[in-house]
Amino acid sequence: MKLVLLDRDGVINEESDDYIKSEAEWVPIKGSLEAISRLCQAGYHIVVITNQSGIARGLLTIEDLHAIHQRMQKEVSANGGRIDAIFICPHKPDDNCDCRKPRPGMLHSVMDRLETELAGVPLVGDSLRDVQSAMVVGASPVLVRTGHGSRTIEQNPHLENVAVFDDLSSFVDDLLDSGG
């Protein structure tokens, strides 16, 4: 199965330090929806894995999150793509759950649901926790400079072996140009 794992905030849509709390606050990053469409047209399945602690913090409800994801799905679809599944962690960092990245719980759920291993599967994110969670399950970490990506790269010089791209679109260009 051809698969790409995507973090949401900072990769697909603009990041917000105040959290994305409503569908009106969800703003796609230029080129990200088209990039997802190109992946789909090339036969890839797209899975989003996203920490959403705003739920546990009381900043949004699960219904609000579903509305945000419905809008995301609708806009991806309008651009000719699809997201096959969305996995979320609704917990705060100090809840000590297994699903919050960098812990591998969401990725294990992806493996169970899709009945596949994630070795070598690209996981595109904008934070150190995305890189760390990818490495735990043998996925290939990819950082984008959008969202918190530039800051993550500056603050973690030991990530020299992690692939870095300007944005999701440039990652997809590289993946598809290399025969992916």
To the nearest 10 degrees (0 to 180), the angle between helices 128-137 and 105-114 is 50
Instruction: Please give the torsion angle defined by the CA atoms of residues 64, 66, 70 and 72, in that order, rounded to the nearest 10 degrees.
Output: 80
Q: Which token pair is 119?
A: 């070795």
Phi-psi region of 10 (alpha: psi -120 to 50; beta: other; left: phi over 0): left
Which residues on adjacent β-strands are paired with residue 71?
A: none
| Distance from the first to the final alpha carbon of the chain | 12
**Catalytic annotation on 7?**
yes
Using only C-alpha atoms, the chain has a radius of gyration, in whole angstroms, of 15
- Indicate which residue of 7, 126, 130, 167 is catalytic: 7
Residues marked active site are found at 7, 9
